[in-house]
A and B are shown apart, each in its own frame.
Chain A
């Protein structure tokens, strides 16, 4: 029997590895990641499905899919040189990934295929903190979250649900953890950054609202309220919340076991268990 046994929501801020190295294991970010890592190690999944948003590194304006999946034995990253992150080789499961992608296409999601690729910090930073020995195979799913028009929240939730169902139809024993990664309100080098900085949190109230809805597993409200207009107000990378929404679809809406907000940065850390 195969099932989604847990879901994790995390940020992927590219300078967190450097910050954690500098500020030590007692710093808040180190503590939050350590808590999630302990849960992941207790749960011991056989595979991870990771929803994140490529920052125009794996894909670019010459070919920019709304959804894509990596189907490969392994991939590498980060390709965008975030400080203090080594180059990792990440194992994957092409048989399992092809099964998931086939189920998506059968369900009407035309998920693009990549078989040879590197990924940027958006995929590697979560793994750097949660599975640094890279011993668990990871299937990466790329969700367009930066370049409007973005896929709708409903579409991303349904994609996640399709992935959850596809996991359950895998013919064999497999315990799967899903991860959704990104910010709720954040603008990086865009017009909504804070004075004198490279980024900013333009809509902290929205980040707080997402935290509450995610913590309670309120999928309907999340889907209704995550509109293109709201995302534009929340910053140029706020569409990354779509990765969390897909993750919630994959495990099935339910309250989180816990959610640790980091509202000053417009994001959070959270864990769900059991489908």
Chain B
């Protein structure tokens, strides 16, 4: 159980500028020491924010990923993938 860690490192993007920079330039290395499941790590590195959302990660906090372009996640990609998670009646 480490969705906590996903949420935590999203907030670290706001607080730790060195980590922020590393998550932009070398995300694999930035995440190497983090206590993540392989599934979480792969989802982060692949920018699969929809999956992270389904796993229970907080959407407001995940917004720091595109805000700081961490793991290569741009706003258009984030926006599209996250909106795909909306309940059917809202789409």
A56-B60, A191-B83 are known contacts. Are A233 and B90 too (CB-CB below 8 A)? yes
| CB-based A-B contact count at 8 angstroms | 63
**Structural contact, B11 and A56, CB atoms closer than 8 A:** yes
Count of chain A residues with Cβ under 8 Å from any Cβ of B?
24
Interface of A is mostly: loop
Contact call A60/B8, Cβ cutoff below 8 A: yes
Chain A positions within 8 Å of B, measured between CB atoms, are 55-57, 60-62, 80-81, 146-147, 188-193, 195-198, 202, 233, 236-237
The DSSP consensus for interface residues of chain B is helix
- The answer on a CB contact under 8 Å between A193 and B83 is yes
Contact of A196 among B59, B76, B87, B90 (CB under 8 A): B76
CA–CA, A198 and B11, complex, Å: 17
Give the complex CA separation of A53 and B86 in angstroms: 24
Q: How far is the CB of A155 from chain B (nearest CB, A)?
A: 22
- Using a CB–CB cutoff of 8 Å, the interface residues on chain B facing chain A are 4, 7-8, 11, 14, 53, 58-63, 66-67, 75-76, 78-79, 82-87, 90
User: CA of A98 to CA of B83 in the docked complex: distance in angstroms?
Assistant: 44
Report if A191-B60 is in contact (Cβ < 8 Å); known contacts: A197-B79, A233-B90.
Answer: no
Interchain CB contact under 8 A, A189 and B63: yes
Q: A61-B4, A147-B58, A189-B62 are in contact. Are A81 and B82 (CB under 8 A)?
A: no
